[in-house]
Structure 1
């Protein structure tokens, strides 16, 4: 039988206990894997040893468990959800789920900090409230999904319906597990789809906690199932399942390619992909200097130690303020290095990398930069010998063809480049296979608009960074993905349009 686990917190920023189930959540109940499955060790925020400290082991499913979950989702879609349930009722349940998340905000924030390593206060004041807002936003959309009436002639009437796909597969990443789960579940459920969710095998804890809140909110069994497991087993099975009609994925471009291929090899399921990025931050001479320092820092280092897909890791600074900017920005990086540590300690702003694998990957990029001739202006090394900490790192004297300028590092590493003209920096900024986001800092409105229009990215942040809104679509150009999440654009990816033609007078 599935087991529960209780973690007792006694920290400077949170004291209490959190309990969650460690099994699979399928058809409204907790269950063990059909064929034994995997036992997956979940590590505690990567602080203590070279390998991390195990919090708990959770059950990992197989393709057989995906089959069971998809069958339950199909049954629910055709009987107790989908077009059988009015949008107002779907919205009511989503709003109730948002209320329950808000009631358990402290527990969820602590659990996310425990598993991911982001500072507790970031989770408490940004991640969890953002999750609540996402569910409430899409709850409001649930009864406003409709088509159009079209009159081609006086003898004919046509109208369109926006209908759900049925069973959707959702595969979420390890860096912002709770927020991304909300970004996928909320619009899928609002539009009447059922969902089989695979959270990251590295950070599944808040998804498991959320399962009981979904049940408490009153969603019918099978509407949401959560199947823990590895990408090559559970993720692959969801991607290839003939009864999964749509899949939404956030993660690496490499895995996105595999999912797209699996769709082509199976049933041509519709695919939404939010993939990697190599975002530029462009700072002009006339920018508000102090704000530019803060936004550029937030753009690359943020609270997740650089582990964000929209990280502004290529920082272009106009020559008039370059030297001053470099000096001030290095001070910010050094102060973050001094504020590194346990996410439950007050004042901690910089946490660990998610795993030893990620630590080695980021250090590999740092060593590559050194080997290719880039200059380490600040950082460039681990912090201590235990835990997975890396100093916020600044490279200078880089060239566009260097590996650190072309590939996504997913760590606290950036390069600062001096530029002269708008035309020059636009060309450099677009010189990448990615196109997820870009940041432009200037007080010249005309310049800001021109740059926003000329940069090849799905989201342009003017005089800001890392500040998406749930009402606004989010997604990438080029190899940063396809489709959109958030806003009405994101909602539209969860429905298919049916055209109905009615003859009211045409005779043959």
Structure 2
């Protein structure tokens, strides 16, 4: 796509002319599912069907796994010199760059996110691919400290066949986080995109083909988790499973690994992230805007959303007013309008789920400050405005459970110790934030927060050099940085005797 869309009208014109790939990508070919079954993918901003997508199941999974294993054992990719894998992946990144507007459009149409956000995701996806491509030929093995009669080598080798199951909220960016290190390390990868957002993954497959990856090294199986996802997780010939999604599904996948071949399982699951604002922080307006964006960005459909706002009581009322003012500027709009901050909720089921949580919040006694009702959009789309609850307690459902929507729960606290206790009183541990000008406090609190990531005087900061993942029931995997390459490789030790 050579056009450079700038306005809502530009994006609408592109959307009207957009064609969709609807078939699975298996062994270098686009094919229908073996059953012939399909499922609909719907534009949540309009309710209009976009396409009928091939619905893969166990038969398709077995076929793809066989091709992936054959490709891995053949060595055309797995034994290729790292510098050559690097060149191919950089070529793929260049193709993604050249087609970024189309890829962004597909994610916006598919799951309802604002196109400006989708373009940001494309930059992240392309950057991730380039980062891992550039890293793979710069990682060294180890030489063990032995005596003169032996040489001990520690090598890293690709793990084999990797199945990557990705979510719908950041379709292509999450895909890149999974497949970039797995492919860079020399594995064969089978991608299962969410049934709610498969379009960009299928378009990516055509770019992979154009980049020249060998047959069977990368394949895409659209379909449902309980069919093709389960089949991949139970496969005796899948060596590693990487997943981003709900904690409930993550637990099921670990059980499937145990029932099959003890494949390695790396999970990035749910979150109920605390965002702590101390009274000594400066520029409350800027902090309030950040706190609002931390939950309302991407319609709140973000695993690290700052959904629990903990505010020191001495500034709480004033600070909430500032958050409400910021929320007013973050209303949902047409996802194809570059000026829209929020878009549509991904589908009817998630839309009803979010509204049910809002109803529970009211029934359980939380104080509704703004929002709370669905927007009756002329387009027929699924829109929910920024919603803020105050006077939330730990016993309330909206204070404990991951909503995955634009719903903010505000808690008050009086002391640093109380803030830490509230922040850690959750089964999750994906992200946490704190705002303060006291460096001693920053270091104390950062160390005590039970979270895989802590953001200080920002929310969601970081780049490809920083690992991304959680603790507790938020999972055990790490995306981004060279640490993710460790997940897609095995250690091998070689002991060479020099005495004979």
Aligned to 2:318: 324
> What does residue range 11-410 of structure 1 map to in structure 2 within 5 Å?
11-14=8-11, 15-16=13-14, 17-36=17-36, 38-44=37-43, 46-48=44-46, 52-124=47-119, 126-288=120-282, 289-302=284-297, 304-337=298-331, 340-384=332-376, 386-410=380-404
Give yes or no for contact 1:305–1:411 (8 Å, CA) kept in 2.
yes
- Structure 2 residue runs of 5 or longer lacking an equivalent are none
How far did 1:347 drift? 2.2
Give yes or no for contact 2:64–2:190 (8 Å, CA) kept in 1.
yes
How many pairs align? Answer: 490
Counterparts of 2:262 and 2:151 in 1: how far apart (Å)? Answer: 31
Does residue 419 of the first structure (1) align with residue 417 of the second (2)?
no
Q: Secondary structure at the match of 1:255?
A: helix
Q: Secondary structure at the match of 2:105?
A: helix
Give yes or no for contact 1:159–1:501 (8 Å, CA) kept in 2.
yes
Counterparts of 2:479 and 2:422 in 1: how far apart (Å)? Answer: 27
How far did 1:80 drift? 4.1
Instruction: Give CA deviations for 1:298-354 in whole Å, capped at 9, x if unaligned.
Output: 21111x1000000111101112321111111112223323xx221112421121111
Instruction: Give CA deviations for 1:134-192 in whole Å, capped at 9, x if unaligned.
Output: 11000011212332101332222211110111100000001000000000110000000
Q: Comparing both structures, which one devotes a greater share of its residues to strand?
A: 1
How far did 1:418 drift? 1.7
How far did 1:496 drift? 0.7
How far did 1:393 drift? 0.7
Counterparts of 1:160 and 1:18 in 2: how far apart (Å)? Answer: 50
Give yes or no for contact 2:391–2:412 (8 Å, CA) kept in 1.
no
Give yes or no for contact 1:194–1:224 (8 Å, CA) kept in 2.
yes
Give yes or no for contact 1:145–1:162 (8 Å, CA) kept in 2.
no
How far did 1:122 drift? 1.9
Give yes or no for contact 1:253–1:479 (8 Å, CA) kept in 2.
yes
More off after superposition, 248-257 vs 135-144: 135-144
Give yes or no for contact 2:164–2:191 (8 Å, CA) kept in 1.
yes
Q: Secondary structure at the match of 1:146?
A: coil
Counterparts of 1:349 and 1:470 in 2: how far apart (Å)? Answer: 24
- Structure 1 residue runs of 5 or longer lacking an equivalent are 1-7
Change (3 A) 1:257 1:359: same
Give yes or no for contact 1:81–1:194 (8 Å, CA) kept in 2.
no
Counterparts of 2:160 and 2:478 in 1: how far apart (Å)? Answer: 19
Give yes or no for contact 1:12–1:346 (8 Å, CA) kept in 2.
no
Give yes or no for contact 2:132–2:482 (8 Å, CA) kept in 1.
no
Change (3 A) 1:422 1:129: same
Give yes or no for contact 2:162–2:238 (8 Å, CA) kept in 1.
yes
Counterparts of 1:188 and 1:47 in 2: how far apart (Å)? Answer: 34
